[in-house]
Amino acid sequence: MSDTVRIGIIGCGGMARHHGRMFDALPGVQVAALAEPSADNLERFIRETVSDKTTLPTTYHDYREMLKNERLDGVVIVTPHNQHFQQTIDAMNAGAHVLVEKPMVIDTEDALALIEHADKTKKILSVAFPGPFTCEFQYIRDTIAAGKLGNLSLVTGVCAQPWIQTQKGTWRSDPVQSGGGNLYDSGAHMFNAMLYLSGQSVTEVYACVNNKGEAVDIAGTVVMRFADGTLGSAAVSGDATVFEQGIYIQGTGGSVKTSIYGGTMEHWQDGQMIKYPAVPTTQSIQENFRECILGRATSPSPALLGLRQARLMDAIYASAKHGQPVAVVAD
């Protein structure tokens, strides 16, 4: 591998532009190629994210042509959820490591197949959930793992936003492309936070969802049991008037609060708030991907999290459909 990590991006919409700006600012990284069916999206991506206009990425309308023609060290996949599986397989087959947007896939069998294929091809598969890459999530996870909160009693999350007001008519409100509604979109951040911070998988769920006349779920509530018996609850609403969200975890010795994305945090220990906790230094999603490719780091958001998320979502939708508790398959 050369000193410069060559990155290709599949899908050039708004989230891809965020990744592009972050990669553009990283030393030792070149966004070498883009694949996007929309000429307007390609033009906007280059205009807004590429600082050196003398060295532009090669553009393609078909990602398969990009994988065929380019020598890429890593591929970032930022497309509708139902496209992630095949694009990840194809990128690995082309010799590239993969950073895939959340959710990794929308089906448990596909999640298992991706993990097997990543192992077979010896490729990195990292999921772009922002939370695990933040210092707040790292601090909370380490605090819980060290037993400082005591025995956990409750893990709860909420995510309420004007989701359908902005996503109606887009691919995110199409169940075929998205795999579900707000529970699978913004709700994915909340569920991932609950799984990652607790360090556990969920073993049982009971869920109710309300599509409110739409093709996908708009609101939902979930009661869950974690592997060690800890109880959890989650609530999602996609027709709120403001965006409100957060995670609360309570143990016998303390409690923590944070955003579903990280970035903020409260830690209460033995009845006292810790005002200035010493948080670890962390890497951005993009920097971590570069370091993983170079063999100098591992991803805090590996494919195992994507598998746990897929299993959880399959169980949630099955519970809501049949109106009864559903067991979640263990790791």
Rounded (5°) CA angle 304-307-311? 145
User: What is the reported pLDDT for 197?
Assistant: 97
Question: Does 43 have pLDDT greater than 70?
Answer: yes
- pLDDT tens per residue across span 126-176: 999 999 999 999 999 999 999 999 999 999 999 999 999 999 999 999 999
- Averaged over 185-208, what is the pLDDT? 96
Contact at 8 Å (CB) between 82 and 108? no
- Rounded to the nearest angstrom, the gap between the alpha carbon of residue 315 and the centroid of all alpha carbons in its chain is 18
What's the Cα-to-Cα distance from 125 to each of 117, 130, 176, rounded to whole Å?
Answer: 10, 15, 24
The CA-based dihedral angle spanning residues 76, 80, 81, 85, taken in that order and rounded to the nearest 10 degrees: -60
- pLDDT tens per residue across span 233-267: 999 999 999 999 999 999 999 999 999 999 999 99
Question: Does 321 have pLDDT greater than 70?
Answer: yes
Helices (H) and strands (E) in the chain, counts: 11, 15
Contact at 8 Å (CB) between 234 and 192? no
User: What is the reported pLDDT for 247?
Assistant: 98
Contact at 8 Å (CB) between 184 and 313? yes
Contact at 8 Å (CB) between 116 and 308? no
Arithmetic mean of pLDDT over the chain: 96
- pLDDT tens per residue across span 8-29: 999 999 999 999 999 999 999 9
Rounded Cα–Cα distance for residues 285 and 281 (Å): 13
Which domains does the chain show, CATH number per domain?
5-127 (3.40.50.720), 131-281+302-327 (3.30.360.10)
Percentage of the chain beyond pLDDT 90 is 97
Q: What is this structure's pTM?
A: 0.95
User: What is the reported pLDDT for 3?
Assistant: 78
User: What is the reported pLDDT for 331?
Assistant: 75
Contact at 8 Å (CB) between 307 and 108? yes
290: nearest Cα among 36, 31, 109: 31
Rounded Cα–Cα distance for residues 132 and 263 (Å): 11
**259, HSE (Cβ side, Cα atoms, 13 Å):** 13
Rounded (5°) CA angle 208-212-217? 50
Question: How would residue 1 be classed by pLDDT, with cut points 50, 70 and 90?
Answer: low
What's the Cα-to-Cα distance from 40 to each of 13, 52, 78, 246, 283, rounded to whole Å?
Answer: 10, 20, 16, 36, 32
Contact at 8 Å (CB) between 95 and 293? no
